[in-house]
A = this chain, B = another copy of it.
Amino acid sequence: MATDLEIARRAKLLPIAEIASRAGIPEAALEPYGRYKAKVALDFALGRSEAKQGALVLVTGINPTAAGEGKTTTTIGLGDALNALGTRTMICLREPSLGPCFGVKGGATGGGRAQVAPMEDINLHFTGDFHAITSANNLLAAMVDNHLYWGNGHELDARRVSWRRAIDMNDRALRSTVASLGGVANGFPREDGFDITVASEVMAVFCLARDLADLQARLGRMIVGNRRDGTPVTAHDLKADGAMAALLRDALAPNLVQTLEGSPALVHGGPFANIAHGCNSLIATRLGLSLADVVVTEAGFGADLGAEKFCDIKARIGGLAPAVSVVVATVRALKLHGGVAKAALGTEDVAAVERGVVNLARHVENMRKFGLPVVVALNRFTSDTDAEIAAVRAAMRVLGAEAVLCTHWGDGAAGALDLARAVRAEIERGAARFQPLYPDAMPLAGKIGTVAREIYHAADVAIPPPVLQKLAKFEAQGFGRVPVCIAKTQYSFSSDPTLLGAPSGHTLSVRDVRLSAGAGFVVAICGDIMTMPGLPRHPAAETIGLDAEGRIEGLF
């Protein structure tokens, strides 16, 4: 069987200017990066009229399992199929991080015949956006320590510096470090550490900014640490916001690429979906909506984390209103939710599907709480049996939802035509009455509780008194109206990653809260959240290389 890389290489790509032209982007608004990638000029992207707005389709999924669900391939396949049906469609995706690419995960450009291309470029440096974000993050870090070094005029408490350095790499050795060692000339030693770039607040700010001025204002509001009296010191206080915005200026223009079937795709930004909101840049999504009749976009992880954040954070801040939600599942993943071991996935087990489908059912019901019609996309594997598929369809029918079989991985657009028709029918029906889950005015603890009860089906929320005090402090500082961003495991509705299916009655324990003042949300940390992954025993990097023609091999 051909690898994703081989399939991608066989595809005949069109010049990016032709893709742009079809999408309604004039060549003058294009900044080419090689022949098949381009940035769409920010002036053009921001100058589009808001009069015409396409319909926004939000692709999300069940709680992820080791079986893989294919959310990105579904986003791409659906976009290709809508275009094949004559509906002018733009796909909006996140940019991949280098870290997982060299670790275990491989690339993040879809798979099979549902890919964006050129996959080597997109998976490696692409147009340099993540490097720009890393640089901006680390310029601020250098300016923090430089401020301490040169007399600390803002009286920042070195023990209370919260700004961490960033690197776009899986490197566990950098999780916890001591910096500024080596004597007087090197500064004041203090505990420090690195997060992977996608976990940086700069990434979240980048993805939520409306324009350059908003970007700089948000960067300036970012808090780098506190004084002894608890008052915050910001990036603006350190005069870092202007240079950071300069570093990010070119990156803020959305990146245009194409799918293997020639659909236009904006691939731009990529924040984590736990400590940040987990979807591509607002500027890219808005550009897509101004150009196309339909924009298909993806939220990170399962719907409890990714889609909730899309709706409560990105849509709220950006004034977006999705028209349909697509929830992606596979029979295999539902069997894992039903308690089957991974090794036994090849054996038919209808009972396990029936047990596991409760996970899917709850996500469907949850998405309706945002006022969204739901279509279920069931990515078909060859091992799925008719009886297993029927069990999923029956469970969905009970909810009044349609489960549509998809084979875009193997068949491209042709494998997602039914899904596209179902989605288009929902758009035409116009039943969406989108609203975020809670109003801006609700107190922060109430917002956490609302998500916990409505989305996670927790019976209770435990917020220890010191954490409540921090929330009260954020409210007193004027940040009471921001949404909350709950960081918990992606594997379960609960904060216990082993509780699969649809657990209820659990308690959500909030260990800590952090204010992302620039991004504009409060992060509630529930459980251990990894902001710097490590490499496995045999990292993918060991087998990535160049062939005799200088082509990259080993990316998958």
Contact = CB atoms under 8 A, between A and B. Distances in A.
Interface in A184-238: 185-187, 192, 212, 216
Interface stretch (A48-56, A125-133, A256-264, A434-442): A125-133
Contacts of A550: 42-43, 212, 249
Given A98-B135, A125-B131, A179-B173, A239 B542 contact: yes
A490 B167 CA distance: 32
A113 interface: no
7 contacts: A34-B39, A98-B135, A142-B171, A143-B541, A151-B537, A176-B186, A178-B178
Copies per assembly: 2
Given A535-B142, A541-B243, A546-B216, A180 B172 contact: yes
Nearest to A128: B128
Interface residues of A, number: 77
B177 A146 contact: no
B31 A546 contact: no
Nearest to A187: B173
Interface string A235-261: 000011111011101100000000000
Contacts of A98: 135
A33 B542 CA distance: 30
A150 B537 contact: yes
Given A125-B250, A246-B544, 7 more contacts: A139-B541, A149-B172, A172-B187, A242-B541, A242-B554, A243-B542, A246-B545
Contacts of A241: 545
A392 interface: no
B176 A181 contact: yes
A182 B176 contact: yes
Which 7 pairs between the two chains have the least Cβ-Cβ distance?
A242-B545, A176-B182, A131-B131, A145-B173, A243-B541, A142-B171, A239-B542
A539 interface: yes
A443 interface: no
A173 B149 CA distance: 9
A175 interface: yes
A534 interface: yes
Given A32-B33, A181-B178, A240-B541, A135 B546 contact: no
Contact of A128 (B39, B125, B239): B125
Given A128-B131, A146-B539, A242-B545, A552 B249 contact: yes
A169 interface: yes
B142 A173 contact: yes
A122 B176 CA distance: 34
Contact of A552 (B173, B185, B246): B246
A543 B247 contact: no
B173 A186 contact: yes
Contacts of A180: 172-173, 176-177
A516 to B, nearest CB: 22
Nearest to A554: B242
Contacts of A32: 32-34
A246 B120 CA distance: 9
A33 B247 CA distance: 17
Interface string A70-89: 00000000000000000000
